[in-house]
A = this chain, B = another copy of it.
Amino acid sequence: MRQLPREKIMYFGDTARTPYGPRPAEEVARFTRQIVEYLIQYRPKMIVVACNTATAVALEDIRSRVAIPVVGVIHPGARAANGRTQTGIVGVIGTDGTIRSGAYEHALKQLSPNIEVISLACPRFVPLVEQGNFRSQETKEVVESSLAPLQNRSIDTLILGCTHYPFLSETIAEAMGNHVALISSADETAREISTILHDRNRLTREGELPVHQFFCSGDPRMFRIIAQQWLGEQIELTPVVWQVPNIV
């Protein structure tokens, strides 16, 4: 919204089936297909798979099924890390599903064959974020012990390979130290969407600013409260949230 204020966003949050991280790949791929089938009826000009786990296991499948550009969050994060690292040693943290897929390692090696990638699943992070537990002593201890295997490995760039992790970025930064740059896939993906729409001459260049739409598969009340908390201060917007229960 901040980087592409002229573009209308139709956001689908699969709140009834979260979290995706621990689910088998085939199940995540099936859920992702269902959501894309739902959204495609609105004739979007682009699909963004804004979840690392779904990107890791379903991106190529979705790409083969629709005629519009499909962007995931893994290549943008990999590209940013590749541009940033000086030591050539990049860390990646993510859910079990994302790390097991090897998707970041594959994307980074494709860009730079000599890059070294150290991957680590951090399954305890998502529950902390879901509880809103960003800065407690417990969080600090979980983050420090989880990241211990990445210490003293000459990493200078760490990819936060899960949409939840940027909420822990201060604690992660303290644990890793000043010399490690943290890459948030969200910011990088928004940049790439802008680049791709520009290259394809599909950027919206004029007209009224859009009203976004939000869909969720679970109870819309909590979704609406959180969306207003997150978005209300920065932009004037009352999120329109529709429940789509029949997708599940």
List residues of chain A with CB under 8 Å of any chain B CB.
2-6, 69, 71, 75-76, 79-80, 82-83, 110-114, 187, 190-192, 194-196, 198-200, 203, 205, 209
Contacts and interface: CB of A to CB of B under 8 A. Distances in A.
A69 B199 contact: yes
Contact of A196 (B83, B199, B203): B199
Oligomeric state, in copies: 2
A102 to B, nearest CB: 16
Contacts of A110: 203, 205
Nearest to A201: B63
B111 A80 contact: no
B113 A6 contact: yes
Given A3-B112, A75-B198, A79-B191, 7 more contacts: A4-B111, A76-B195, A79-B195, A83-B191, A110-B203, A113-B209, A191-B191
Contacts of A113: 5-6, 209
Nearest to A193: B195
Contacts of A190: 83
A203 B79 CA distance: 12
